[in-house]
Amino acid sequence: MALNCVMLNTTREPIPLPNEGIISTVDSGTEVNLLIPDVPPEGNNSAGGSGGSQKLKAMGRIWITDHRFLFTSSPDLSFDSLMVPLPSILSTCFEQPTFGTNYLDRVGHICTLSVQIYS
């Protein structure tokens, strides 16, 4: 399953958008935890969310460009790729726990994304 799928080349690297520059990459040791909440119906809509909240977790590679945050994993994991436009990220928080690995929390319009980089 791909969430906001990323166009990938044969080496599973993202194909850049026109005039897009890569700021940073992490090639290994990256864990992404994604929480998608169940959304109640709004306005005239009778349908709500996707049948309950979902928690997805995968190990893979990340790219941060001047337009978006990108993640790719092995195709057999819980999700294949994820793309989040930078304007959709509402807030970020870099956590440095006393006992544990540093990680970055991002809150977007629809979901909560937690990225841990193991070295």
Any domain includes 70: yes
Any domain includes 85: yes
Number of H helices, E strands in the chain: 0, 8
3 state DSSP class of 88: helix
pLDDT of 58 reads 84
Give 25-75 pLDDT, tens digit per residue: 888 778 887 777 776 555 555 444 555 677 888 888 889 899 888 888 877
Any domain includes 102: yes
- Higher-confidence residue: 44 or 21? 21
pLDDT of 1 reads 46
pLDDT of 90 reads 73
Any domain includes 82: yes
At residue 113 the predicted structure's pLDDT band, cuts being 50, 70 and 90, is low
Neighbour-count burial for 26-50, b at 16+ CB within 10 Å, e otherwise: beeebbbebebeeeeeeeeeeeeee
Any domain includes 17: no
Say how many domains are in the chain.
Answer: 1
The per-residue pLDDT of the chain, averaged, comes to: 75
Question: Across residues 90-110, what is the average pLDDT?
Answer: 71
Task: Please check the confidence at residue 108 and state whether its pLDDT lies above 60.
Answer: no
Please report, for the domain that includes residue 67, its CATH number: 2.30.29.30
Any domain includes 12: no
Any domain includes 107: yes
* Residue range of the domain that includes 27: 2-7+22-38+52-117
7, 8, 36, 63 from 21: Cα distances, Å: 16, 16, 28, 10
